[in-house]
Structure 1
Amino acid sequence: MDIDHHAEELASALGVDKEEVKADLQNLLQYSVPLDEAKQSVRRKHGGSSSASDAAPLTKRIGDIGPNDGNVSVTVRVLTVGTRSIVYQGDEQTIREGELADESGVISYTAWQDFGFEPGDSVVIGNAGVREWDGNPELNIGAASTVGVEKETVETPYDDRIGGEANLIDLQAGDRGRVVDVRVLEVESRTISGRNGETTILSGVLADETGRLPFTDWKPRPDVKEGASLRLSDVYVREFRGVPQVNLSEFTTLETLDEPVEVTDSAPRLKIGEAVDAGGMFDVEVLGNVLEVRDGSGLIERCPDCGRVIQNGQCRQHGEVDGEDDMRVKAILDDGTGTLTAILDHDLTTEVYGGTMEDAMAAARDAMDKEVVADEIASKLVGREYRVRGNLSVDEYGANLEADEFEESDDDPADRAMAILTEVGA
């Protein structure tokens, strides 16, 4: 984004110093204020008209809009409308957000006021700003934008997404205005420090017949209780600890369902490459061979305050501490399509090791080497195929699967090879 260009145009139109305008713009943009809203704010500050426009917006198809476009006009079908409160320039503001579509594609939007459109409406949106969000263009519909009814229905190949109904397995971070039918599997009440001080929230796990996801209810509702089958309308999805999380806002509506929502006891099994490419996943199963047991496996010490693994008595956050003994395994798993690190907690590690913590520590004392425990674990795991189920997170450091289940595979290699050959032949 060329800030200098926008600052120079604004400064010239307002008759003020360019560097002052540039500083004002940068201050707003660092808080993710959309460019067109930031420019309007600067105009107002310096006595200019907030309806001023730098240039006539171009009329574009959604598929032709890029992150560097300025203002555009589009004719679209509204797929979803979500409502959420945010803090904007120090004030709480209600925004609308969701997805729009035409025959060429789908784009996310944020509307900074209620323009009255609903899912399924066909509308003409004029002078909408474009910003980049997670590498993709997003429309910002603000005070300088116009929204009108399009008489002819805008035909799109995405009409099945109107209204936002979705299965849990299809939800991704960034989704807004979604509708899900779910059963509450786990729920707990917690007190956290929020923007308005301490607040109580609900968190837990939701499920349907396709999978499971964690959730947070920011305005605790009494009907969100274990075992309840619910239709949740207008939820949004954020990434938390590398996996999608369903969020219920103050605008989410809840309906108790008479018929129980069917849930699956199994996790979707994916090839490792597919799971990693999909990003973080809550409750997924993979099958692969253990290639290596990584450093940091076997006997370890954790910080008593934060639970992080410590080295030489030093915690990255709390400095010098008296560590607490623990065990874990970090195993590199490969299936030919990709690799990940399966992380086994204390209980799973003792099962793999075949002994207790006391047994492991006694072995280390006898050998005068803690590494004998990791070596013993490696001798049992490396070269064997395992089924692993748990929560997958993917970041710049790689893919990690926090294992809930870890067991040697009993799949018949010949049957699996035949299935692969059949798939290739098809």
Structure 2
Amino acid sequence: MIPYEEMMDGLKEKSGLSKKELDKKVSQKYEELGGLVSMEGAAHLVARELGINLLVKKRKLKISDLKDGMKSVDITGRVSMITEPREFSRKDGTKGKVSNIFVSDGAGSIRIPLWDKQVDDLKGKIQEGEVISISNGLVKINNFGNIELRVSTFSKIEKVQDDGSIPFEKPNARPLAVETDINMIKEGFFSVKGNIVQLFKINFTYKMCPKCRMKIEEEDCPEHGKVKPETNMLVSAVIDDGTGNLRVVFFREQAKRLSGIEPNVLSDLGQDAAYDALKKAVLGRDVVVSGRVQRNKLFENLEIVANDVQEINPVEEGKRLIDEIKTLVGGYEGGKD
């Protein structure tokens, strides 16, 4: 077992709490259990309650190594851009604030969204071009199908010494989607055109904290406590273009755009009725879907996370096909002797 003092040093580093606060928590846990566990065991229980794993010796990761769902992530990179804070109004009438830090490490780049108090806490403390360390982050896929690194009260962002090894890189704009047939699909950013042929029966709605945008149960956010949650939706379907088929995941705005149904309406229907409503709304639709193609970790097959969905205009599509046929016929006739 890890020595007690080493455990407390690890807890202090990862939690941001003082040694005095941690000693108090561990002592309370020890007394609560009537001495049935050792002080080291009590420290492990406190660490678990704080969402910290003391058994894993973490290593600094490259941004290119990051995958959706990774927890307690530590990276170091150079700040390539900091966006101006933007204020917005939530559905409950409260005001919010968001800013983004873009960081690169020579192997990749990533966005770190900051919300509300996080924006104020870091204002003026970090500048573009400086090297920073981010510890205890969570990797998630955002609405654009890209991964981002989210930080909580247990995370830490701080300036570190610049040894010149990390180049300065301006953040890339969102990559352009490459049009392709499904049978030629691979990991990357692509656009496919086809017909929605299947809808998976899942939990179509979920609750989200309006402050940190994290998925939550009922009204309890691990970081912000009791909140008035927002209801969002998720649609998982299969698109077929005649060359193959591909699972497509639509989150939030893209799910609403595809179905034309509001999340709160689905939530009130219950799963069976929601499934029937979505089937009527989406099955048989001809659409163009753009997004990031990635490998599903559970089934090991490719899927596309949509960041844009557009319905195909049959008139425009007919004109396009006619022009394509004319081009092919013209090329054939021009090649004849």
Q: Could you say which TM-score interval applies, normalised by the shorter chain? A: 0.3 to 0.5
Query: Structure 2-normalised TM-score?
Result: 0.41
Q: Give the strand-richer structure, 1 or 2.
A: 1
Query: Structure 1-normalised TM-score?
Result: 0.34
Q: Which has the larger radius of gyration?
A: 1
Higher relative contact order (CA 8 A, sep 6+): 2
Q: Give the helix-richer structure, 1 or 2.
A: 2
